[in-house]
A = this chain, B = another copy of it.
């Protein structure tokens, strides 16, 4: 007999009100998969798009249960799933299905959770840090001593990118509209952070690079940010587009790209093949996980909600008030259990 579990379900396209906590059958691990008891799962902007019907899950991922990352304990291993054993603390990225009490994933996309981290902290790592790591180092080919402009510096990806850029020998510069976020980022040592709406922002950014311009831009903003990017980008600079908060279509001057010998890269993680996700996970785990234990890297958790408050979590992210990640936790909730 199949067990049952609670999961966030997108019942139809719409606002946070279309999200419901429902009892669904446990997922079954395939031969190379792990069954994981989820302890915490973070929210992403992609969840908001998926809820509105704009970003369907890729083939193979649960179509109605959102959740692109998790931290939890291995409960069972498929016969050909290696490298992890029941009871192991693990985390990873998913095509979907993370916002549930249990999930299955391929063993090669699973990473160990550093001992020093709580479940909430661990759940705040995979999507933000793998996205930022891939954008900076794989797509953006960041070299030591290069400058990096981080859009949406207060987001989960932004705070991860700031730390990763510095850990890689680069000089990050942040942008965020919210004065309070700028203040708190700078207090925490993630500086400088400027206001992109300040007319002097381009000059400030260029000055922060010593006048040479920005070598690598991590773009989560899209269309509205292009004029600033075109202005501050250094010769041979790269722009890696991983988000479109302000929209998608913009007028681009190809001649400027030629003159600057610039590179513009569009990137997403979710639709990638298993092999690509596995390779990125392995590289990140080998090179970056030790830095969490040493404190060089640390996930920014804005707050956590129990799973049954997922609507509140979505509303908070839509108000764009979070500094770092919003985490859902699976602690027992008698009220929800009784439903």
Contact = CB atoms under 8 A, between A and B. Distances in A.
Nearest to A241: B254
A337 interface: no
Contacts of A260: 266
A255 B220 CA distance: 11
Interface residues of A, number: 27
Nearest to A221: B254
6 contacts: A252-B252, A257-B264, A260-B266, A261-B266, A261-B267, A264-B264
Interface of A: 222-223, 241-242, 244, 248-268, 271
B261 A264 contact: no
Contacts of A254: 222-223, 241, 244, 248-250, 266
A251 B256 CA distance: 14
Contact of A259 (B242, B253, B266): B266
A23 to B, nearest CB: 35
How many copies, total? 2
Contacts of A267: 258, 261
A265 B254 CA distance: 9
A262 B268 CA distance: 10
A109 to B, nearest CB: 18
Contact of A251 (B251, B255, B258): B251
B266 A257 contact: yes
A256 B222 CA distance: 12
A259 to B, nearest CB: 7
A256 B271 CA distance: 13
A269 B95 CA distance: 42
Contacts of A263: 263-266
Contacts of A266: 254-263
A180 to B, nearest CB: 28
Nearest to A258: B266
A268 B258 CA distance: 6
